[in-house]
Amino acid sequence: MHRMTRRDLLQAMLAAPAGPLAASAPASPVVVARCLSYDEDQVALLDGMFDKLGGLAGIVRGKTVTVKINLTGSPARRFQGKPLGVTHYTHPAHIGALAHLLTRAGAKRVRFVESAAGTAGPLAEYMLDAGWNVRRLLSAGPNVSFENTNGLGNFRRYVKFPVPGGGWIFPSYHLNEAYAETDVFVSLAKLKNHATCGVTLAMKNIFGITPASIYGDDAPAHEPNENPAKGRVDICHFGKRNPAAIAAPEKDPASSREPGYRMPRITAELTAARPIHLAIIDGIETVAGGEGPWIRGLRPVTPGVMIAGTNPVSTDAVAAAVMGYPPRDPKGRGVFRDCDNTLLLAEELGCGSADLNRIEVRGVPIEKAMFRFAA
Amino acid sequence: MLSLPVLAFAAALPAAGDWVPMRWPSSDPRSLDLLSGTPVNCLLLEPRSWSAEFSAAAASQGIVTLGVIRPDQAELAARAGPAGLNGVVLEGVFDKPVAAGGLTVIEMPPRARLRFDPPPVVLATSQGVWPGIDAAEEESKAAPSGAPWIHTNSGFLRFVRAMTTAPVWMGCQPPPGVVFPAARYLQAVGDAAITGARWVISLDQDLNQRLLARDPPALRDWNRIASHVHFFEQHREWRRMELTGGLALVQDTGSGGLLSGGILDMIAVKHTPVRAVPGRYLDDTRMRGARMAVNVDPAALDEARKETLRRFTRGGGTLLTAPPGWKFPPPRDDRITLDKEDIAILDSIWREISSMTGRHNLGVRLFNVASTLSTLSSPAAGRPLVLQLVNYSDYPVENITAHILGRFTRADLYEPGGAAPKKLAPYESEDGTGVDIDRVSTVAALVLE
């Protein structure tokens, strides 16, 4: 596997082949901070990081903020018996801290969302199953709520989100209305490898906004299934069939059925269709080798790092570099050896730049924060 | 013939309902020191360990001795009296009655041959699954969904408890050739105890040998096991309570009640409070307080019992009936779990049950309990409510939330080794009362008033 050394990093910044699209894609500063434990003051940590990005108030005051958290896989599946937040889930300390900071910055409403694995039940109950103190999280702000977007949940309809430029796999996505009733969209992700996509960061996190009611293995051909109990493997990963008819069918049924082709494209399409305004990636404690305990060879790691930025592609590029992976590696190289590079695809859609030369890193330099994920 | 001193002590021996049984690996009277301070007061002895000296020493400590006899050893029963034993345990399938010279006889047959009527001194079986989570089995699961499968006898024991007023013993032994960590024994203790039964303590050969040799780590493990047994014996009032819950499962010996891994266990994994109602005893009393019911073998009910279920539904209860022709495999001596084909058939009715119970609170809803099983019990008066939990994972479970139906103002958490219960702070929840439990190592009981 191609690992990134500090020398590689320098070379990547000096010589990475960025095409014309990369040159025109927006780039924004990314903040990197050190944090070795969730016992440290996460409010102060995030507050300091947001200050380095120009402050939270300017982004969220008077706005409805939707925060996509990462609760991948059933909460019943623990890795080595550890709490989910220190392995493959968003850590509850960050949810509480973010709810507090967003409220303090004047957000009108703060809604934490996830399409919870195998259920359309209340997200709060799913969080209880994860061992979180939901009452405490709700008390972080007066207008804090949780929404499971795997079905309609508390909303009445699905909303169509067209992919700018038409997309590769789907021309549009039908999502829970919560994603439309959003002024500011935040991806609160985990710094992890992904068995199919190489890395799962702020962008891959929002793959989970697709409702299983429409894109799930047990979604009927026509109407959505409001009691989904399965994942999205057949439709999204392998393209064995089309989603429920409420949503647009695939553009090209003759295209590759390889998950390494489809998943990065779907992720990039979703990033373009439902833009992320703030990307936060938790690498304090996490896992390497995959996205969850169902992946063989998974191991716990403590990179001791937090990363945030207002552009998801730039933030993911810095995060990939912190993991020791050149963010512009093409398919077939390094961590992208079996898949397309989601970052480059999102760049192609104009979502942002993955070119480290164009991204200002504030706080801890990449070379000092680097924690190699490759075994 | 027993000597006079032994008879004098024997008069002070505990009643059968209070026997705390253990398979004992020694005939050395000095080994009894290991039981000092433990609640174990009934030893099951293999024939090689029968001795009048040992029995007398045991009796002098208030310990009952029972000789284990297997089907090909029936003639040994005549030796039990002279060996000073208080009784015999007939483990296995015996074709003919065994004469034990007036001693107490406990039958320990395969599940399929359990005799419920008249109620025996002790209702026991040697057949059980070895409780716990199979780590290798779980590791092989390559999907992001699904809770770990817990091997448990608790579903079977729930059914048996509903069938009898006799004390119930689960006589399963650890699989041979494997050395288990102490936690697995704690789980075995809890697996039986939360249903009101007792596990016949049985240690693997390695632990037995090290224990008899007073190996310090083995002594530590034994102390932990004994403290967990002690915990449940300290609270015998829980054992006498009725297992309760808003869901009633109507089944009988011929419709899955004697199996493990069946519907009762599947419901238990979802932590839906369920009571077993044997079809032969189905009446309004057994159904009192139930809001939902599942009848797995409608054809087996007579007209009076069918009418009971009709009254239940007329009273607002929801009844789910197994599809026509649907049948559990009959119990057999060599099988206590379901085959793959049976499980596939079971899946259809299981989906219906799961859909019916959904998010309903049928007594308590528990969160973050994937590696645990629980029972809910109460006396006839309904209070206190006792929620017992067993954690089958190798790690403590942290941050459990319980949403209990009804208003409770007091919640005490009892754990082994704890001098006093921990007072928890109940709060109002959607369903009535919420309680947060910080941590459960292996077993715990929440008592609500």
Q: What gap in Å lies between CA B434 and CA B436, rounded to an integer?
A: 7
Query: For the residues A105-127, what does the mean pLDDT come to?
Result: 96
- Least confident stretch, A130-144, A302-316, B133-147: B133-147
- Residue A113 sits at φ, ψ, to 5 deg, of -130, 150
Interface mutation vs chain A, best among B133, B145, B398, most A CBs within 10 Å:
B145
Domain co-membership, B353 together with B394 = no
Query: In the predicted model, is pLDDT for residue A16 greater than 60?
Result: no
Counting the structural domains of chain B, the total is: 3
Contact B399 A132 (CB under 8 A): yes
DSSP character string of A237-305: IS--SPPPTTSPPPS-TTS---HHHHHHHHHHHHHHHS--SEEEEEESSEEESSSSTTSTT-EEE---E
pLDDT at residue A157 tops 60: yes
Q: How many Cβ atoms sit within 10 Å of the Cβ of residue A330?
A: 12
Tell if the CB–CB gap between A74 and B436 is shorter than 8 Å: no
Neighboring chain B residues of A70 at a CB cutoff of 8 Å: none
Q: pLDDT of B213-271, one tens digit each?
A: 999 999 999 999 999 999 999 999 999 999 999 999 999 999 999 999 989 999 988 89
Instruction: Please tell me the distance in Å from B434's CA to the nearest CA on chain A.
Output: 11
Q: Which residue is closest to B392 within chain A, CA to CA? A: A81
**Residue A244 in tokens:** 């429920």
pLDDT level of residue A54 (50, 70, 90 thresholds): very high
| CB-based contact, A138 to chain B, within 8 Å | no
- The shortest CB-CB distance from B401 to any of A73, A74, A128 is to A128
Domain boundary (B240, B257, B289) is at: B240
Q: Note whether B299 and B217 are same-domain residues.
A: no
- A-chain residues within 8 Å CB-CB of B361? none
Shortest CB distance from B359 goes to which of A118, A121, A294?
Answer: A121
CB-based contact A125 B400, cutoff 8 Å:
no
Partners of A294 on chain B (C-beta within 8 Å) are 141-144
Verify that B55 and B173 share a domain, yes or no: yes
Choosing from B240, B272, B302, the residue where a domain stops is B240
Task: Tell me: pLDDT of A40 over 70.
Answer: yes
Q: Of B212, B240, B268, which one is at a domain's C-terminal end? A: B240
User: What residues contact A204, with CB distance under 8 A and at least 6 apart?
Assistant: A189, A194, A197, A267, A342
With H, G, I as helix, E, B as strand and everything else as coil, classify residue B445.
strand
What's the first-to-final CA gap in chain A, in angstroms? 9
Task: List the single residue in A with minimal CA-CA distance to B428.
Answer: A135
- For B300-338, write each residue's pLDDT tens digit: 999 999 999 999 999 999 999 988 777 788 888 998 998
Same domain? For B45 and B184 the reply is yes
Structure tokens at A120: 């359309």
The model's pLDDT over A171-215, given as tens digits with 9 standing for 90+, comes to 999 999 999 999 999 999 999 999 999 999 999 999 999 999 999
Q: Does A216 touch chain B (CB under 8 A)?
A: no
Q: Are B370 and B349 part of one and the same domain? A: no
**In chain A, domain spans:** 6-369
Determine the residue type at B170. Answer: M
Same domain, B196 and B336: no
Residues 217 through 246 of chain B touching chain A, CB cutoff 8 Å? none
B101 and B236 in a common domain: yes
Sign of CA dihedral A266, A268, A273, A274: positive
Domain range holding B256? 245-357
Q: Report residue B164's pLDDT band, with 50, 70 and 90 as the boundaries.
A: very high
- Tell me what the pLDDT averaged over chain A comes to: 94
pLDDT tens for each residue of B192-212? 999 999 999 999 999 999 999
Same-domain status, B194 and B333? no
- A300 has a chain B CB within 8 A of its CB: no
End-to-end CA distance of chain B: 52
Three-class DSSP labels, B365-379: EEECCCCEEEEEEEC
Asked if pLDDT for residue B57 goes beyond 60, the answer is yes
**Same-domain status, B395 and B417:** yes
Residue A207 forms contact with B (CB below 8 Å): no
CB contacts under 8 A, B 416-445 vs A, are 427, 434, 436
Q: What is the average per-residue pLDDT within B342-357?
A: 84
* Cβ neighbours of A228 in B, within 8 Å: none
Q: For the ranges A204-213, B141-150, B178-187, B343-352, which has the lowest average pLDDT?
A: B141-150
Residues B215, B298, single domain; the answer is no
Q: Test B398 with A129 for CB contact under 8 angstroms.
A: no
User: Can you give the pLDDT at residue A330?
Assistant: 96
Q: Under an 8 A CB cutoff, do A135 and B142 touch?
A: no
In this prediction, residue B39 carries a pLDDT of 97
Orientation angle between helical segments B182-193 and B216-234, nearest 10 degrees: 10
B 360-419 near A (Cβ less than 8 A): 367-368, 370-371, 393-395, 397-401
CB within 8 Å: A73 and B145: yes
Mutation test of the interface with chain B: which of A38, A77, A87, A138, choosing the one with the most B Cβ atoms within 10 A? Answer: A77
ipTM over 0.85: yes
Q: Is B290 found in the same domain as B405?
A: no
- Name the token pair of B299: 């054809």
CA distance A40 to A367: 23
| CATH label of the domain that carries residue B426 | 2.60.40.1180
Q: How far is A124 from chain B (nearest CA, A)?
A: 10
- Give me the residues paired with residue A66 across strands: A111, A185
Residue B53 burial (CB count, 10 A): 12
> Amino acid identity, residue A39?
D
pLDDT computed for residue A160 by the predictor? 98
Answer yes or no: are the C-beta atoms of B417 and B386 closer than 8 Å.
Answer: no
- Helices and strands in chain A, H and E counts: 13, 14
Domain co-membership, B232 together with B323: no
Amino acid at B117: D
The residues that bridge with B68 in the sheet, in sequence order, are B89
| pLDDT for res A6 | 63
CA distance B293 to chain A (A): 22
Instruction: For residues B334-347, give the mean pLDDT.
Output: 83
- Contact assignment for B427 to A135 by CB distance below 8 Å: yes
Q: Which amino acid is at A284?
A: I
Q: Name the closest residue on chain A to residue B402, using Cα atoms.
A: A128
Chain A residue at shortest CA distance from B360: A121
Give Cβ neighbours of residue B120 (< 8 Å, ≥ 6 apart): B106, B107, B164, B166
